[in-house]
Every structure is written in C-alpha cells, then in structure tokens.
C-alpha cells in the first residue's frame, strides 16, 4: 500500500501563515473588543512597520477582509488545509484541533509574540 503524502511537509509555518493562524485563533475566540485588541497589540509588537504590508498581502490573496482586518472564509480554509483540520469540524472544537495538530506535527512558530499568543489561546503551556 502506497503511503499518501499531504501538502507540504509540516514543521514550520512561514511568517504570513503564522499571522494568518493568529487571526484564525482570534476568530474562534469569544467575539469581543478585548480579544480583537489583544491580537492587534500582539501583531503590532511582533511585526512593527511590516504589519501593514503583510496585512495588504493577505488582503490581496483574499485571506483577510479589507474592511475589518479579520480572517475570511478562504483564510479559514487555508489554515484548515495546512493544519489538516477537516472542513466539517465543529467550530467550537477548532482551537482543540489547532492545538492537537501543532503538537502532532511539531509545527514550529518562529515569531515569539505570535507563538505566545497562539499557545495561550489554544492551551499549550
């Protein structure tokens, strides 16, 4: 039996994917200004002047919305795909899937502030 190969090898997400993952995590947290503000602060601290150009690049690919700088359905599907999360997974369990897959595939997050934010909200100590 041939072993199936899925997408790109796991191990490291590029910076834009890490940022998109942070938006993904925020999307599945309780919707309130505190959570949105926290994400904004983390991204500004992590990326400084580069944040605007990265957001524009994600907007141009349709992964972030122009008007509210939140992840789009296409962005959610993109993250679901790279983390091997089934698209029919129950929304309230998405963060548990993120945690499981980051640990299972030993995915490294190289931007410290983003790593801390994601780990905090998905329950990785």
Task: Output the pTM of the full model.
Answer: 0.88
DSSP per-residue string spanning 32-64: SHHHHHHHHHHHHHHHTTHHHHHHHHHHHTTSB
Question: Cβ distance 27 to 36 under 8 Å?
Answer: no
Position 19 scores a pLDDT of 97
Residue 8 CA to residue 40 CA, distance in Å, equals 29
- The pLDDT, as a whole number, for residue 90 is 82
Q: What confidence score (pLDDT) does residue 52 get?
A: 94
Question: Across the 125 residues of the chain, what is the mean pLDDT of every consecutive 10-residue run?
Answer: 44 92 96 92 96 96 92 96 86 91 93 97 94
At residue 20's C-alpha, the angle toward residues 19 and 26, to 5°, is 95
- The pLDDT assigned to 31 comes to 87
Give the span between the Cα atoms of 43 and 49, in whole angstroms.
10
pLDDT attached to residue 89:
79
């Amino acid at each position: 039996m041939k072993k199936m190969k899925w997408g790109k090898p796991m191990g490291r997400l590029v910076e834009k994917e890490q940022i998109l993952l942070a938006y993904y995590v925020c999307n599945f947290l309780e919707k309130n200004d505190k959570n949105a503000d926290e994400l904004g602060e983390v991204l500004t601290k992590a990326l400084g002047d580069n944040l605007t150009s990265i957001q524009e690049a994600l907007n141009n690919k349709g992964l972030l919305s122009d008007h509210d700088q939140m992840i789009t359905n296409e962005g959610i599907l993109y993250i679901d795909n790279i983390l091997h999360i089934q698209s029919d997974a129950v929304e309230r369990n998405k963060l548990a899937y993120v945690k499981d897959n980051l640990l299972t595939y030993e995915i490294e997050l190289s931007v410290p502030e983003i790593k801390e934010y994601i780990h905090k909200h998905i329950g990785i100590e």
